[in-house]
Structure 1
């Protein structure tokens, strides 16, 4: 298959290539072993390894200096949750045992993440020599932090998860290189993403990210049942893969494939149900914690709701935010639906998925730093142009730095009061995201601007741009 090389159609890459001889020619040879996919897998491995190094100062060793953690921007949820969620005792996350529940809080995450965390805690215990749990049962949870070897054990837990996340990142790259035939290099913006390096180890979000990439890959190969299963498993790890069904609804309606959409709904629900069954059957009350936690959660980090709440002192109630955010998101989805149905050509699933997920994040009451990973595989396929990716990810990186300095108290005015500069960071992040949303929406409405659909036109634009630069 003939591959479209980014130096032939991307102005940024073409301009940079002038330093090494210019864009790849039409008759350039191909290395027999270093295929684009293998190159991108290697690059992703290097980038993720750099991310682990960035987290190392305060996440791969004991650190009681919270201020230093925020100053160095190396926080991860994995270390502080190891003992409070019972993983030091290998406690099943959905156990209803009275002693377990009196000692430890229930995991507030979907079942896919809870299973993964419990499984990696089991691997951690095996690697450190299966510690005697009887001594831990006899001690108060707060005393476990001081046990001999506990710091090293938690570090092993973080590293086990890091290895698993790295494999998930590589799987994501593998799937992304196969979504658009002849365009494996579109995945480069994921493999080389600084956002991947900086946020990949914060939480367990890469589980759902890999499943979304796999679903995009399966859909392009018309594997409807597999697509539904992957979406259902993704929803079991994070809610947002559910929104792919909105994009699939548009595509199935346009192509008059209602039976396929019904299959997608049934298989997605069946996979989600099967994934949730062990948790629900072993601890119904514990299973509900995730849903109750999100319903009761107020305006939180990164959200426009938090900005308005702090700037105006309105004091939004959780119920009010829930009602308005879902109503606004419904209107956003309606807009994406109309855009998709009125488009002159069938949009691509990555484009529709990106638009829906972006709307959810902008309107949602919490927008954690690692949520950029939700958009990353969708964004690099929806708008595979480096200039636009750099603008969007630049906004994300600016916010990434500001949120940690905000939590560390470094942005507070000398005279006291709210950290207004953190509000600026929220607005910059949202503005950069809306910039990419506008471009993707334009590509859907006017497909001639979509590099995936009109490579010849984009190639001509690139040639003109590089000629002017020279």
Structure 2
């Protein structure tokens, strides 16, 4: 598989090599001979078998296997509480298999199904349960259910990396940020969120190729796996308005709505109340411990203060999300230079992760591919991921204390968890602030030095202009 030349170019273009330009990678490559030589021309000279994409696939496969190894305790001993938390091998999959009664009920299709994940996750869970029916029952089938879901996510991980490499244009090596991500290694198999991450990556690839309808369709499917693609749709709409490409943005929105309805249609046909019940459960759910609202409630509970009720949390989070959308709109319309697609999407999704009442540390996987496009600088991205990893481990140890009543040797108390959650949140905000700085000062943006936005394909035909022009 050879690298795809940039759109509009009939001759190979040299690739950007991060080991030459990124200070951290330059230092890290010293033990193996240092950065790639100046006289080499990757992307122009044929590399033989080891093309960029094939190397990235191999790195991703190794990371996916390492992620399975990290779940080793639970795979051999089962997903029992508190062990699954104290050993940091927790996963939604095996727990949902039991709690959702997937041995006999199909999510969203069977009456009375207690499955509480999104619709697309329900589709995947139902299919995985059917595939493992020959495994019998009990722990053996629970393990088989986890393995099937992990295998599917490993394929999605590889797809995401390859698509991101092609979306990045001449900076295809930046997809290594996704391939070797510590956050993904630790959390890829925790939830079904990768079923949103991969379609979003596809949507950006189609967007970069000028295919608005295909991009919208992919985002519509992604929105059935996680809510954050809605924020992405709004950010793209704002960029389209500034670029004078409103018609294409309306095509994108229409395609997203149609694909969203197509995923939902079978559920509405066979079990109409299921989706309404799912929405009611989302509204009635308490804020997670990792959210700013859940964190406040933990402190209020410890100090004997009044906690925020669910209604208050829903109202406050809705107001803050509206403020976020207005801020993204202002950034898209009034920044001196039009933000790159990857930049605005990263800021939008980062804001959503910080302000949502349902945020979890593994939601950082939504941001990893966007970070590779928005801020492909290894040092700040790795520091941010280190904070997220610490947050995830702290949450597991905090839950092992609360749910398993463990001693401090295998658990941590609330203040330490909140400290880790706060550091992770601040790290996310700091990374978003760096992206905003690059928007206002493009000389800091390593991608902008290459000229045209590699992801701006749908917006390219129309000249950028101010929204009031």
Q: What is the TM-score when the length of structure 2 is the normalising length?
A: 0.87
Name the CA shift for 1:94/1:64 in 2 (closer, same or farther; >3 Å).
Answer: closer
SS of aligned partner of 2:177: helix
1:345-398 CA distance string (max 9 Å, x none): 322222111111111111111221321111111112110000111111011011
1:403 aligns with 395
CA–CA separation in structure 1 for the residues paired with 2:77 and 2:390: 27
2:95 aligns with 80
Unaligned runs of 5+ in 1: 132-148, 457-470
2:4 aligns with none
Bigger share in helix: 1
Q: Is the 8 A contact 1:413 1:419 kept in 2?
A: no
CA–CA separation in structure 2 for the residues paired with 1:334 and 1:230: 25
SS of aligned partner of 1:236: coil
1:135 aligns with none
SS of aligned partner of 1:374: helix
Q: Is the 8 A contact 1:211 1:231 kept in 2?
A: yes
In the alignment, is residue 46 of structure 1 matched against residue 41 of structure 2? no
Name the CA shift for 1:81/1:174 in 2 (closer, same or farther; >3 Å).
Answer: same
Q: Is the 8 A contact 2:296 2:307 kept in 1?
A: no
In the alignment, is residue 264 of structure 1 matched against residue 252 of structure 2? yes
Q: Is the 8 A contact 1:85 1:106 kept in 2?
A: yes
**Which of residues 426, 431, 455 in structure 1 aligns to 2:426?**
431
CA–CA separation in structure 2 for the residues paired with 1:246 and 1:65: 41
CA–CA separation in structure 1 for the residues paired with 2:362 and 2:328: 24
CA–CA separation in structure 1 for the residues paired with 2:435 and 2:292: 22
1:453 aligns with 448
Deviation at 1:452, TM superposition (A): 0.3
**Which of residues 108, 115, 140 in structure 2 aligns to 1:107?**
115
1:27 aligns with 39
Deviation at 1:170, TM superposition (A): 0.4
SS of aligned partner of 2:169: coil
Deviation at 1:41, TM superposition (A): 1.0
2:175 aligns with 187
Q: CA RMSD in A?
A: 2.0
**Which of residues 363, 383, 389 in structure 2 aligns to 1:391?**
383
CA–CA separation in structure 1 for the residues paired with 2:238 and 2:21: 29
Q: Which moved more, 1:349-358 or 1:77-86?
A: 77-86
**Which of residues 314, 324, 327 in structure 1 aligns to 2:319?**
327
1:138-161 CA distance string (max 9 Å, x none): xxxxxxxxxxx5211111111111
CA–CA separation in structure 2 for the residues paired with 1:412 and 1:382: 42
2:415 aligns with 420
CA–CA separation in structure 1 for the residues paired with 2:356 and 2:407: 25
Deviation at 1:333, TM superposition (A): 1.8
CA–CA separation in structure 1 for the residues paired with 2:138 and 2:287: 35
1:93-117 CA distance string (max 9 Å, x none): 22354xxx3xxx4321221110011
* Structure 2 counterparts to residues 309-320 of structure 1, below 5 A: 309-312=297-300, 313-320=305-312
Q: Is the 8 A contact 2:224 2:263 kept in 1?
A: yes
What is the aligned length? 427
Name the CA shift for 1:88/1:388 in 2 (closer, same or farther; >3 Å).
Answer: same
Name the CA shift for 1:10/1:360 in 2 (closer, same or farther; >3 Å).
Answer: same
* Structure 2 counterparts to residues 245-264 of structure 1, below 5 A: 245-264=233-252
In the alignment, is residue 3 of structure 1 matched against residue 15 of structure 2? yes
Q: Is the 8 A contact 1:344 1:447 kept in 2?
A: no
Q: Is the 8 A contact 1:300 1:365 kept in 2?
A: yes
CA–CA separation in structure 2 for the residues paired with 1:246 and 1:274: 21
CA–CA separation in structure 1 for the residues paired with 2:65 and 2:277: 34
1:201 aligns with 189
Deviation at 1:29, TM superposition (A): 5.7
1:140 aligns with none
2:109 aligns with 95
1:218-269 CA distance string (max 9 Å, x none): 1100000000000000001111111111221122112101101110111100
CA–CA separation in structure 1 for the residues paired with 2:235 and 2:22: 27
2:461 aligns with none
CA–CA separation in structure 2 for the residues paired with 1:359 and 1:83: 34
In the alignment, is residue 57 of structure 1 matched against residue 57 of structure 2? no
Q: Which moved more, 1:328-337 or 1:173-182?
A: 328-337
Q: What is the TM-score when the length of structure 1 is the normalising length?
A: 0.87
**Which of residues 60, 64, 68 in structure 1 aligns to 2:83?**
68
In the alignment, is residue 116 of structure 1 matched against residue 124 of structure 2? yes
1:463 aligns with none
SS of aligned partner of 2:29: helix
Name the CA shift for 1:319/1:412 in 2 (closer, same or farther; >3 Å).
Answer: farther
